[in-house]
Structure 1
Protein backbone atom coordinates (compact mmCIF):
# COMPACT_ATOMS: atom_id res chain seq x y z
CA UNK A 1 0.00 0.00 0.00
CA UNK A 2 2.80 2.41 0.89
CA UNK A 3 4.54 1.78 -2.41
CA UNK A 4 1.42 2.16 -4.56
CA UNK A 5 0.46 5.30 -2.66
CA UNK A 6 3.87 6.74 -3.50
CA UNK A 7 3.28 5.94 -7.16
CA UNK A 8 -0.16 7.55 -7.01
CA UNK A 9 1.36 10.71 -5.48
CA UNK A 10 3.91 10.83 -8.28
CA UNK A 11 1.22 10.46 -10.96
CA UNK A 12 -0.88 13.19 -9.33
CA UNK A 13 2.13 15.53 -9.14
CA UNK A 14 2.76 14.88 -12.84
CA UNK A 15 -0.76 16.00 -13.72
CA UNK A 16 -2.47 12.61 -13.87
CA UNK A 17 -2.17 9.52 -16.04
CA UNK A 18 -3.22 8.95 -19.64
CA UNK A 19 -5.53 5.91 -19.87
CA UNK A 20 -7.11 4.17 -22.85
CA UNK A 21 -8.98 0.94 -23.58
CA UNK A 22 -7.55 -0.55 -26.77
CA UNK A 23 -9.73 -3.66 -27.12
CA UNK A 24 -12.82 -5.01 -25.38
CA UNK A 25 -13.82 -8.63 -25.90
CA UNK A 26 -14.42 -11.64 -23.65
CA UNK A 27 -13.53 -14.91 -25.34
CA UNK A 28 -14.67 -18.51 -25.41
CA UNK A 29 -13.16 -21.12 -27.75
CA UNK A 30 -14.94 -24.46 -28.22
CA UNK A 31 -12.97 -27.40 -29.62
CA UNK A 32 -14.49 -29.68 -32.26
CA UNK A 33 -13.41 -33.09 -33.56
CA UNK A 34 -13.37 -33.77 -37.31
CA UNK A 35 -12.83 -36.89 -39.43
CA UNK A 36 -9.50 -35.86 -40.94
CA UNK A 37 -7.51 -32.74 -41.81
CA UNK A 38 -9.53 -32.23 -45.00
CA UNK A 39 -12.73 -32.11 -42.94
CA UNK A 40 -11.01 -29.81 -40.43
CA UNK A 41 -10.19 -27.34 -43.20
CA UNK A 42 -13.78 -27.53 -44.48
CA UNK A 43 -15.11 -26.70 -41.01
CA UNK A 44 -12.80 -23.68 -40.75
CA UNK A 45 -13.84 -22.49 -44.21
CA UNK A 46 -17.53 -22.84 -43.32
CA UNK A 47 -17.13 -20.83 -40.10
CA UNK A 48 -15.32 -18.02 -41.93
CA UNK A 49 -17.92 -17.95 -44.71
CA UNK A 50 -20.91 -17.92 -42.35
CA UNK A 51 -19.88 -15.43 -39.65
CA UNK A 52 -23.11 -13.45 -39.99
CA UNK A 53 -25.23 -16.58 -39.46
CA UNK A 54 -23.11 -17.65 -36.47
CA UNK A 55 -23.35 -14.19 -34.91
CA UNK A 56 -27.14 -14.16 -35.19
CA UNK A 57 -27.36 -17.59 -33.53
CA UNK A 58 -25.04 -16.67 -30.66
CA UNK A 59 -26.54 -13.24 -30.03
CA UNK A 60 -30.06 -14.66 -29.82
CA UNK A 61 -29.17 -15.83 -26.29
CA UNK A 62 -28.22 -12.43 -24.83
CA UNK A 63 -29.48 -8.86 -24.58
CA UNK A 64 -26.06 -7.17 -24.36
CA UNK A 65 -23.61 -9.67 -25.87
CA UNK A 66 -22.32 -8.97 -29.38
CA UNK A 67 -19.74 -11.01 -31.26
CA UNK A 68 -16.86 -8.73 -32.23
CA UNK A 69 -14.58 -11.34 -33.77
CA UNK A 70 -14.26 -15.02 -34.73
CA UNK A 71 -10.89 -16.75 -35.14
CA UNK A 72 -10.28 -20.34 -36.23
CA UNK A 73 -7.31 -22.67 -36.01
CA UNK A 74 -6.61 -26.39 -36.11
CA UNK A 75 -4.33 -29.00 -34.56
CA UNK A 76 -4.61 -32.13 -36.67
CA UNK A 77 -8.27 -33.15 -36.59
CA UNK A 78 -9.13 -30.69 -33.79
CA UNK A 79 -10.77 -27.41 -34.78
CA UNK A 80 -10.81 -24.45 -32.37
CA UNK A 81 -13.17 -21.52 -32.87
CA UNK A 82 -12.38 -18.48 -30.68
CA UNK A 83 -15.36 -16.17 -30.23
CA UNK A 84 -14.81 -12.66 -28.89
CA UNK A 85 -17.80 -10.84 -27.39
CA UNK A 86 -18.64 -7.35 -26.19
CA UNK A 87 -20.40 -8.04 -22.87
CA UNK A 88 -21.55 -4.63 -21.63
CA UNK A 89 -20.65 -3.99 -17.99
CA UNK A 90 -20.51 -7.70 -17.10
CA UNK A 91 -17.20 -9.56 -17.07
CA UNK A 92 -19.21 -11.86 -19.27
CA UNK A 93 -17.95 -15.42 -18.83
CA UNK A 94 -21.42 -16.88 -18.29
CA UNK A 95 -22.84 -14.79 -21.10
CA UNK A 96 -20.26 -15.89 -23.67
CA UNK A 97 -20.41 -19.53 -22.57
CA UNK A 98 -24.16 -19.71 -23.20
CA UNK A 99 -23.86 -17.85 -26.50
CA UNK A 100 -20.93 -20.00 -27.64
CA UNK A 101 -22.92 -23.17 -26.92
CA UNK A 102 -25.64 -21.94 -29.26
CA UNK A 103 -23.12 -21.09 -31.97
CA UNK A 104 -21.33 -24.42 -31.52
CA UNK A 105 -24.60 -26.27 -32.07
CA UNK A 106 -25.04 -24.53 -35.40
CA UNK A 107 -21.48 -25.35 -36.47
CA UNK A 108 -21.99 -29.04 -35.63
CA UNK A 109 -25.31 -29.13 -37.47
CA UNK A 110 -23.93 -27.55 -40.65
CA UNK A 111 -20.47 -29.15 -40.85
CA UNK A 112 -20.70 -32.56 -39.21
CA UNK A 113 -18.01 -31.61 -36.69
CA UNK A 114 -18.42 -32.99 -33.15
CA UNK A 115 -18.32 -30.60 -30.19
CA UNK A 116 -15.83 -32.04 -27.69
CA UNK A 117 -15.60 -29.25 -25.12
CA UNK A 118 -17.25 -25.84 -24.93
CA UNK A 119 -13.90 -24.49 -23.70
CA UNK A 120 -10.99 -25.85 -25.69
CA UNK A 121 -8.33 -23.75 -23.87
CA UNK A 122 -7.70 -21.49 -26.88
CA UNK A 123 -9.80 -18.91 -25.01
CA UNK A 124 -7.58 -18.93 -22.75
CA UNK A 125 -9.20 -18.72 -19.31
CA UNK A 126 -7.23 -18.51 -16.03
CA UNK A 127 -3.94 -19.73 -17.49
CA UNK A 128 -0.83 -17.91 -18.76
CA UNK A 129 -1.08 -17.97 -22.54
CA UNK A 130 0.53 -16.25 -25.49
CA UNK A 131 -2.84 -16.00 -27.26
CA UNK A 132 -4.07 -13.58 -24.57
CA UNK A 133 -0.80 -11.67 -24.60
CA UNK A 134 -1.02 -11.15 -28.36
CA UNK A 135 -4.77 -11.00 -29.08
CA UNK A 136 -6.12 -9.76 -25.75
CA UNK A 137 -8.96 -11.00 -23.55
CA UNK A 138 -11.50 -8.93 -21.66
CA UNK A 139 -10.22 -5.36 -21.65
CA UNK A 140 -6.86 -4.44 -23.18
CA UNK A 141 -5.84 -1.32 -21.26
CA UNK A 142 -2.91 1.09 -21.30
CA UNK A 143 -1.88 3.78 -18.83
CA UNK A 144 1.04 6.18 -19.06
CA UNK A 145 2.52 9.28 -17.47
CA UNK A 146 5.19 11.83 -18.38
CA UNK A 147 7.72 12.31 -15.55
CA UNK A 148 10.25 15.13 -15.38
CA UNK A 149 13.76 14.62 -14.04
CA UNK A 150 12.85 16.90 -11.13
CA UNK A 151 9.88 14.71 -10.09
CA UNK A 152 11.90 11.52 -10.47
CA UNK A 153 14.58 12.90 -8.19
CA UNK A 154 12.16 14.38 -5.66
CA UNK A 155 9.74 11.45 -5.29
CA UNK A 156 11.67 8.37 -6.44
CA UNK A 157 15.12 9.55 -5.28
CA UNK A 158 16.75 8.44 -8.53
CA UNK A 159 17.39 9.74 -12.06
CA UNK A 160 16.23 9.21 -15.65
CA UNK A 161 19.18 7.06 -16.72
CA UNK A 162 18.81 4.69 -13.77
CA UNK A 163 15.06 4.31 -14.28
CA UNK A 164 15.57 3.51 -17.95
CA UNK A 165 18.28 0.96 -17.27
CA UNK A 166 16.37 -0.86 -14.53
CA UNK A 167 13.30 -1.23 -16.74
CA UNK A 168 15.34 -2.42 -19.73
CA UNK A 169 17.53 -4.90 -17.88
CA UNK A 170 14.85 -6.16 -15.44
CA UNK A 171 11.44 -5.88 -17.04
CA UNK A 172 12.44 -6.42 -20.66
CA UNK A 173 15.74 -8.33 -20.90
CA UNK A 174 15.32 -10.26 -17.65
CA UNK A 175 11.77 -11.31 -18.51
CA UNK A 176 12.82 -12.37 -22.01
CA UNK A 177 15.72 -14.39 -20.61
CA UNK A 178 13.32 -16.12 -18.22
CA UNK A 179 10.80 -16.86 -20.97
CA UNK A 180 8.21 -14.89 -19.04
CA UNK A 181 4.88 -13.76 -20.50
CA UNK A 182 4.91 -10.80 -18.09
CA UNK A 183 7.34 -7.97 -18.81
CA UNK A 184 6.75 -6.01 -15.64
CA UNK A 185 7.95 -5.52 -12.07
CA UNK A 186 4.93 -6.64 -10.03
CA UNK A 187 1.70 -5.86 -11.88
CA UNK A 188 -0.05 -8.89 -10.40
CA UNK A 189 0.22 -7.43 -6.87
CA UNK A 190 -1.99 -4.48 -7.77
CA UNK A 191 -4.33 -6.47 -10.02
CA UNK A 192 -4.87 -9.04 -7.26
CA UNK A 193 -5.59 -6.40 -4.61
CA UNK A 194 -8.05 -4.49 -6.80
CA UNK A 195 -9.76 -7.65 -8.04
CA UNK A 196 -10.36 -8.92 -4.50
CA UNK A 197 -11.47 -5.51 -3.20
CA UNK A 198 -13.84 -4.90 -6.11
CA UNK A 199 -15.48 -8.30 -6.53
CA UNK A 200 -13.61 -9.61 -9.56
CA UNK A 201 -12.58 -13.24 -10.06
CA UNK A 202 -9.15 -13.52 -8.41
CA UNK A 203 -8.28 -16.48 -10.64
CA UNK A 204 -8.08 -13.99 -13.51
CA UNK A 205 -5.04 -12.34 -11.93
CA UNK A 206 -2.98 -14.71 -14.08
CA UNK A 207 -4.25 -12.84 -17.16
CA UNK A 208 -3.67 -9.50 -15.44
CA UNK A 209 -0.02 -10.45 -14.92
CA UNK A 210 0.56 -10.35 -18.70
CA UNK A 211 1.59 -6.72 -18.46
CA UNK A 212 4.36 -4.94 -20.34
CA UNK A 213 5.99 -1.90 -18.73
CA UNK A 214 7.91 0.50 -20.95
CA UNK A 215 10.04 3.57 -20.20
CA UNK A 216 10.70 5.91 -23.13
CA UNK A 217 13.08 8.88 -23.09
CA UNK A 218 11.34 12.26 -23.34
CA UNK A 219 12.78 15.79 -23.71
CA UNK A 220 12.05 16.64 -20.07
CA UNK A 221 12.42 13.17 -18.54
CA UNK A 222 10.70 9.87 -19.37
CA UNK A 223 7.29 8.57 -20.38
CA UNK A 224 6.41 5.44 -18.39
CA UNK A 225 3.55 3.23 -19.52
CA UNK A 226 1.92 -0.11 -18.79
CA UNK A 227 -0.11 -2.19 -21.23
CA UNK A 228 -2.34 -4.95 -19.86
CA UNK A 229 -3.64 -7.08 -22.73
CA UNK A 230 -6.03 -9.20 -20.68
CA UNK A 231 -8.16 -7.69 -17.92
CA UNK A 232 -11.39 -9.71 -17.48
CA UNK A 233 -13.37 -7.23 -15.37
CA UNK A 234 -16.98 -6.23 -14.83
CA UNK A 235 -19.09 -3.98 -12.63
CA UNK A 236 -22.28 -6.06 -12.56
CA UNK A 237 -22.87 -9.67 -11.53
CA UNK A 238 -20.72 -12.12 -9.62
CA UNK A 239 -18.70 -10.77 -6.71
CA UNK A 240 -19.60 -7.16 -7.52
CA UNK A 241 -22.89 -7.69 -5.67
CA UNK A 242 -21.18 -8.51 -2.34
CA UNK A 243 -21.75 -5.57 0.01
CA UNK A 244 -18.12 -4.59 0.71
CA UNK A 245 -17.05 -5.08 -2.89
CA UNK A 246 -20.04 -3.10 -4.17
CA UNK A 247 -19.07 -0.25 -1.83
CA UNK A 248 -15.54 -0.22 -3.27
CA UNK A 249 -16.97 0.06 -6.78
CA UNK A 250 -19.24 2.91 -5.64
CA UNK A 251 -16.23 4.73 -4.16
CA UNK A 252 -14.59 4.50 -7.58
CA UNK A 253 -17.74 5.70 -9.33
CA UNK A 254 -18.15 2.56 -11.43
CA UNK A 255 -20.76 0.43 -9.64
CA UNK A 256 -23.48 -1.23 -11.68
CA UNK A 257 -24.44 -0.64 -15.28
CA UNK A 258 -23.03 2.33 -17.14
CA UNK A 259 -24.58 4.62 -19.73
CA UNK A 260 -23.83 3.62 -22.43
CA UNK A 261 -23.57 -0.09 -21.53
CA UNK A 262 -19.97 -1.10 -20.96
CA UNK A 263 -18.74 2.33 -19.89
CA UNK A 264 -18.44 1.47 -16.19
CA UNK A 265 -16.51 -1.74 -16.82
CA UNK A 266 -14.16 0.10 -19.16
CA UNK A 267 -13.63 2.88 -16.64
CA UNK A 268 -12.85 0.30 -13.98
CA UNK A 269 -10.28 -1.33 -16.29
CA UNK A 270 -8.69 2.11 -16.76
CA UNK A 271 -8.51 2.55 -12.98
CA UNK A 272 -6.84 -0.85 -12.59
CA UNK A 273 -4.31 0.06 -15.29
CA UNK A 274 -3.55 3.38 -13.56
CA UNK A 275 -3.08 1.53 -10.28
CA UNK A 276 -0.66 -0.89 -11.92
CA UNK A 277 1.24 2.09 -13.35
CA UNK A 278 1.55 3.55 -9.84
CA UNK A 279 2.91 0.28 -8.51
CA UNK A 280 5.40 -0.09 -11.33
CA UNK A 281 6.69 3.47 -10.88
CA UNK A 282 7.33 3.03 -7.19
CA UNK A 283 9.05 -0.35 -7.44
CA UNK A 284 11.20 0.71 -10.40
CA UNK A 285 12.21 3.78 -8.41
CA UNK A 286 13.05 1.72 -5.33
CA UNK A 287 15.17 -0.64 -7.40
CA UNK A 288 16.94 2.18 -9.23
CA UNK A 289 17.73 3.94 -5.94
CA UNK A 290 18.77 0.65 -4.26
CA UNK A 291 16.06 1.20 -1.64
CA UNK A 292 14.12 -2.06 -1.98
CA UNK A 293 15.67 -4.04 0.88
CA UNK A 294 15.70 -1.01 3.16
CA UNK A 295 12.04 -0.28 2.50
CA UNK A 296 11.03 -3.88 3.21
CA UNK A 297 13.02 -3.84 6.42
CA UNK A 298 11.61 -0.49 7.57
CA UNK A 299 8.00 -1.40 6.79
CA UNK A 300 8.29 -4.93 8.15
CA UNK A 301 7.61 -6.64 4.81
Structure 2
Protein backbone atom coordinates (compact mmCIF):
# COMPACT_ATOMS: atom_id res chain seq x y z
CA UNK A 1 0.00 0.00 0.00
CA UNK A 2 3.06 2.28 0.19
CA UNK A 3 6.69 2.49 -0.89
CA UNK A 4 9.02 4.70 1.17
CA UNK A 5 12.44 5.30 -0.44
CA UNK A 6 15.52 6.28 1.56
CA UNK A 7 19.04 6.96 0.32
CA UNK A 8 21.78 5.54 2.54
CA UNK A 9 25.10 6.49 0.99
CA UNK A 10 25.14 4.87 -2.45
CA UNK A 11 22.39 2.45 -1.49
CA UNK A 12 18.67 2.89 -2.05
CA UNK A 13 16.49 1.36 0.64
CA UNK A 14 12.81 0.85 -0.20
CA UNK A 15 10.50 0.31 2.74
CA UNK A 16 7.47 -1.60 1.49
CA UNK A 17 4.21 -1.37 3.41
CA UNK A 18 1.64 -4.16 2.98
CA UNK A 19 -1.93 -4.75 4.10
CA UNK A 20 -2.20 -8.42 5.13
CA UNK A 21 -5.74 -8.60 6.48
CA UNK A 22 -6.16 -10.80 9.56
CA UNK A 23 -2.86 -12.64 9.03
CA UNK A 24 0.51 -11.51 10.30
CA UNK A 25 1.49 -11.93 6.66
CA UNK A 26 5.27 -11.99 7.00
CA UNK A 27 5.71 -14.80 4.48
CA UNK A 28 3.48 -13.17 1.87
CA UNK A 29 5.26 -9.85 2.45
CA UNK A 30 8.65 -11.53 2.01
CA UNK A 31 7.51 -13.12 -1.25
CA UNK A 32 6.14 -9.83 -2.59
CA UNK A 33 9.31 -8.00 -1.51
CA UNK A 34 11.47 -10.51 -3.35
CA UNK A 35 9.49 -9.98 -6.55
CA UNK A 36 9.62 -6.18 -6.18
CA UNK A 37 13.35 -6.32 -5.50
CA UNK A 38 13.92 -8.37 -8.64
CA UNK A 39 11.84 -5.99 -10.77
CA UNK A 40 13.57 -2.85 -9.45
CA UNK A 41 17.04 -4.35 -9.83
CA UNK A 42 16.34 -5.40 -13.41
CA UNK A 43 14.98 -1.99 -14.42
CA UNK A 44 17.77 -0.01 -12.73
CA UNK A 45 20.70 -2.34 -13.44
CA UNK A 46 21.52 -2.45 -9.74
CA UNK A 47 24.66 -4.40 -8.89
CA UNK A 48 23.15 -6.20 -5.91
CA UNK A 49 19.76 -6.51 -4.28
CA UNK A 50 18.70 -7.82 -0.89
CA UNK A 51 15.44 -8.33 0.94
CA UNK A 52 16.18 -6.82 4.33
CA UNK A 53 13.23 -7.93 6.43
CA UNK A 54 15.67 -9.48 8.84
CA UNK A 55 16.99 -6.13 10.02
CA UNK A 56 13.69 -5.35 11.77
CA UNK A 57 12.28 -8.85 12.05
CA UNK A 58 11.88 -10.01 15.66
CA UNK A 59 13.89 -7.12 17.08
CA UNK A 60 12.59 -4.32 19.26
CA UNK A 61 13.41 -1.14 17.34
CA UNK A 62 12.71 2.57 17.40
CA UNK A 63 11.10 2.65 13.95
CA UNK A 64 8.42 0.14 14.94
CA UNK A 65 7.89 1.94 18.24
CA UNK A 66 7.08 5.24 16.55
CA UNK A 67 5.84 4.29 13.06
CA UNK A 68 4.14 1.06 14.09
CA UNK A 69 4.34 -2.45 12.65
CA UNK A 70 1.61 -5.04 12.59
CA UNK A 71 -1.25 -3.70 14.68
CA UNK A 72 -1.19 -0.61 16.88
CA UNK A 73 -3.61 -0.79 19.80
CA UNK A 74 -4.38 1.26 22.91
CA UNK A 75 -6.22 0.02 25.98
CA UNK A 76 -7.23 2.51 28.65
CA UNK A 77 -9.38 2.38 31.77
CA UNK A 78 -10.52 4.49 34.70
CA UNK A 79 -10.30 2.59 37.99
CA UNK A 80 -12.18 3.99 41.02
CA UNK A 81 -10.11 4.67 44.12
CA UNK A 82 -12.32 2.39 46.24
CA UNK A 83 -11.91 -0.51 43.83
CA UNK A 84 -8.11 -0.19 43.88
CA UNK A 85 -8.12 -0.18 47.67
CA UNK A 86 -10.39 -3.22 47.82
CA UNK A 87 -8.80 -5.38 45.14
CA UNK A 88 -5.14 -4.33 44.98
CA UNK A 89 -4.67 -2.64 48.38
CA UNK A 90 -3.17 0.48 46.81
CA UNK A 91 -4.19 4.05 46.02
CA UNK A 92 -3.94 5.83 42.66
CA UNK A 93 -1.08 7.88 44.11
CA UNK A 94 0.81 4.69 45.01
CA UNK A 95 0.67 3.42 41.44
CA UNK A 96 1.55 6.78 39.89
CA UNK A 97 4.56 7.12 42.20
CA UNK A 98 5.98 3.65 41.55
CA UNK A 99 5.39 4.04 37.82
CA UNK A 100 7.39 7.29 37.83
CA UNK A 101 10.20 5.56 39.69
CA UNK A 102 10.30 2.71 37.20
CA UNK A 103 10.32 5.09 34.23
CA UNK A 104 13.49 6.67 35.63
CA UNK A 105 14.99 3.20 35.87
CA UNK A 106 13.98 2.37 32.31
CA UNK A 107 15.55 5.61 31.07
CA UNK A 108 18.82 4.75 32.81
CA UNK A 109 18.77 1.34 31.12
CA UNK A 110 18.31 2.97 27.72
CA UNK A 111 15.36 0.71 26.93
CA UNK A 112 12.67 1.66 24.43
CA UNK A 113 10.07 -0.20 26.44
CA UNK A 114 7.91 1.68 28.94
CA UNK A 115 5.72 -1.31 29.79
CA UNK A 116 6.44 -3.33 32.92
CA UNK A 117 5.87 -7.00 32.12
CA UNK A 118 4.09 -7.16 28.77
CA UNK A 119 6.22 -10.09 27.61
CA UNK A 120 4.75 -12.40 30.26
CA UNK A 121 1.12 -12.03 29.26
CA UNK A 122 1.82 -11.90 25.54
CA UNK A 123 4.01 -15.01 25.59
CA UNK A 124 1.33 -17.00 27.43
CA UNK A 125 -1.41 -16.03 24.96
CA UNK A 126 0.87 -16.41 21.94
CA UNK A 127 1.69 -19.99 22.96
CA UNK A 128 -1.94 -20.87 23.56
CA UNK A 129 -3.28 -19.26 20.39
CA UNK A 130 -0.83 -20.41 17.71
CA UNK A 131 1.12 -17.18 17.34
CA UNK A 132 4.84 -16.93 16.56
CA UNK A 133 6.29 -16.54 20.06
CA UNK A 134 9.48 -14.97 18.69
CA UNK A 135 7.42 -11.88 17.85
CA UNK A 136 7.11 -11.14 21.55
CA UNK A 137 10.45 -9.35 21.18
CA UNK A 138 8.72 -6.67 19.07
CA UNK A 139 5.17 -6.92 20.33
CA UNK A 140 5.96 -6.42 24.02
CA UNK A 141 7.47 -2.97 23.47
CA UNK A 142 5.21 -0.01 24.18
CA UNK A 143 4.08 2.74 26.50
CA UNK A 144 2.32 2.83 29.86
CA UNK A 145 0.61 5.93 31.23
CA UNK A 146 -0.75 6.29 34.77
CA UNK A 147 -2.35 9.44 36.17
CA UNK A 148 -4.66 10.55 38.96
CA UNK A 149 -7.96 11.98 37.71
CA UNK A 150 -9.61 15.11 39.06
CA UNK A 151 -12.08 12.82 40.85
CA UNK A 152 -9.27 11.03 42.66
CA UNK A 153 -9.42 7.84 40.60
CA UNK A 154 -6.73 6.23 38.44
CA UNK A 155 -6.44 6.61 34.68
CA UNK A 156 -4.31 3.87 33.11
CA UNK A 157 -3.37 3.34 29.48
CA UNK A 158 -1.21 0.79 27.64
CA UNK A 159 -0.15 1.42 24.03
CA UNK A 160 1.25 -1.44 21.94
CA UNK A 161 2.41 0.12 18.65
CA UNK A 162 3.84 -3.01 17.00
CA UNK A 163 1.68 -5.98 17.95
CA UNK A 164 2.30 -8.80 15.47
CA UNK A 165 -0.63 -11.20 15.72
CA UNK A 166 -3.04 -12.92 13.37
CA UNK A 167 -6.19 -15.01 13.46
CA UNK A 168 -5.76 -16.72 10.10
CA UNK A 169 -2.78 -18.59 8.67
CA UNK A 170 0.23 -20.05 10.43
CA UNK A 171 -0.66 -22.13 13.46
CA UNK A 172 -4.00 -20.45 14.14
CA UNK A 173 -6.03 -23.26 12.57
CA UNK A 174 -4.26 -26.09 14.34
CA UNK A 175 -5.45 -28.13 17.33
CA UNK A 176 -5.67 -26.36 20.66
CA UNK A 177 -4.61 -23.04 19.12
CA UNK A 178 -7.82 -22.99 17.08
CA UNK A 179 -9.78 -24.00 20.19
CA UNK A 180 -8.31 -21.14 22.22
CA UNK A 181 -9.04 -18.60 19.49
CA UNK A 182 -12.59 -19.96 19.33
CA UNK A 183 -12.97 -19.53 23.10
CA UNK A 184 -11.97 -15.88 22.67
CA UNK A 185 -14.31 -15.54 19.71
CA UNK A 186 -11.63 -14.25 17.36
CA UNK A 187 -10.60 -17.11 15.06
CA UNK A 188 -10.73 -16.50 11.34
CA UNK A 189 -11.32 -13.49 9.13
CA UNK A 190 -12.35 -10.35 10.97
CA UNK A 191 -10.93 -11.44 14.32
CA UNK A 192 -7.44 -9.94 14.44
CA UNK A 193 -8.37 -6.45 15.63
CA UNK A 194 -10.45 -7.79 18.53
CA UNK A 195 -7.64 -10.22 19.37
CA UNK A 196 -5.23 -7.28 19.52
CA UNK A 197 -7.59 -5.43 21.86
CA UNK A 198 -7.80 -8.46 24.17
CA UNK A 199 -4.02 -8.67 24.26
CA UNK A 200 -3.70 -4.99 25.12
CA UNK A 201 -6.14 -5.49 27.99
CA UNK A 202 -4.08 -8.47 29.16
CA UNK A 203 -0.93 -6.34 29.17
CA UNK A 204 -2.53 -3.45 31.05
CA UNK A 205 -4.07 -5.74 33.67
CA UNK A 206 -0.75 -7.51 34.17
CA UNK A 207 1.21 -4.28 34.55
CA UNK A 208 -1.25 -2.85 37.09
CA UNK A 209 -1.27 -6.06 39.10
CA UNK A 210 2.52 -6.30 39.18
CA UNK A 211 3.02 -2.64 40.12
CA UNK A 212 0.48 -3.01 42.91
CA UNK A 213 2.27 -6.08 44.26
CA UNK A 214 5.52 -4.11 44.32
CA UNK A 215 3.81 -1.28 46.20
CA UNK A 216 2.45 -3.63 48.88
CA UNK A 217 5.58 -5.83 48.92
CA UNK A 218 3.41 -8.85 48.17
CA UNK A 219 5.36 -9.89 45.07
CA UNK A 220 8.12 -11.75 46.89
CA UNK A 221 5.74 -12.94 49.60
CA UNK A 222 3.49 -14.54 46.99
CA UNK A 223 6.43 -16.37 45.44
CA UNK A 224 7.54 -17.57 48.85
CA UNK A 225 4.06 -18.81 49.67
CA UNK A 226 3.08 -20.28 46.31
CA UNK A 227 6.40 -21.12 44.66
CA UNK A 228 6.90 -24.78 43.82
CA UNK A 229 10.65 -24.78 43.32
CA UNK A 230 11.57 -25.99 46.79
CA UNK A 231 14.60 -28.32 46.85
CA UNK A 232 13.91 -31.22 49.16
CA UNK A 233 10.16 -30.66 49.32
CA UNK A 234 7.96 -33.47 48.02
CA UNK A 235 6.51 -32.82 44.57
TM-score by length of 1: 0.72
Render the CA deviation track for 1:86-134: whole Å, top value 9, x for unaligned: 1111110111111112222232233333453212545x11112111111
Matched, 1:265 2:185: no
Residues 69 and 161, structure 2, Cα contact 8 Å, conserved in 1: yes
Whole-Å separation in 2 of the counterparts to 1:253 and 1:80: 40
Aligned residues: 227
Q: Deviations over 1:202-250 (max 9, x none)?
A: 0100011212111022123121111111111111111112210000000
Aligned to 1:87: 20
* Residue 130 of structure 2 corresponds to residue 199 of structure 1: yes
Of the three residues 93, 98, 104, the one matched with 2:31 is 98
Pick which of 88-97 and 198-207 moved more: 88-97
Give the secondary-structure state (helix, strand or coil) at the position aligned to 1:137.
coil
What's the secondary structure of 2:85's corresponding residue?
A: helix
Distance in 1 of aligned mates of 2:137 and 2:49: 26
Task: For structure 2, list consecutive stretches of 5 or more residues without a partner in the other structure.
Answer: 229-235
Indicate the SS of the match to 1:294.
helix
Secondary structure of the structure 1 residue equivalent to 2:14: strand
CA distance in 2 between counterparts of 1:115 and 1:253 reads: 46
2:58 maps to which of 126, 130, 150: 126
Distance in 2 between residues matched to 1:218 and 1:278, nearest whole Å: 19
Residues 119-159 of structure 1, C-alpha deviation per residue, up to 9 Å, x if partnerless? 2545x111121111111110011111101111111111011
TM-score scaled to structure 2, two decimals? 0.91
Single out whichever of 236-245 and 109-118 deviates more from structure 2.
109-118
Whether contact under 8 Å (1:74, 1:80) holds in the other structure is yes
Residue 278 of structure 1, CA deviation: 0.9
Q: What residue in structure 2 maps to residue 111 of structure 1?
A: 44
C-alpha contact (below 8 Å) 1:104/1:115 kept by paired residues: no
Aligned to 2:162: 230
Q: Which structure 1 segments of 5+ residues have no match?
A: 1-66, 259-263
Query: 1:224 is paired with a residue of what secondary structure?
Result: strand
Give the 5 Å matches for 1:1-301.
67=1, 69-122=2-55, 124-170=56-102, 172-220=103-151, 221-258=153-190, 264-300=191-227
Q: CA RMSD of the aligned region, Å?
A: 1.5
Residue 288 of structure 1: how far off its partner (Å) = 1.7
User: 1:274–1:78: structure 2 CA closer, same or farther, 3 Å change rule?
Assistant: same
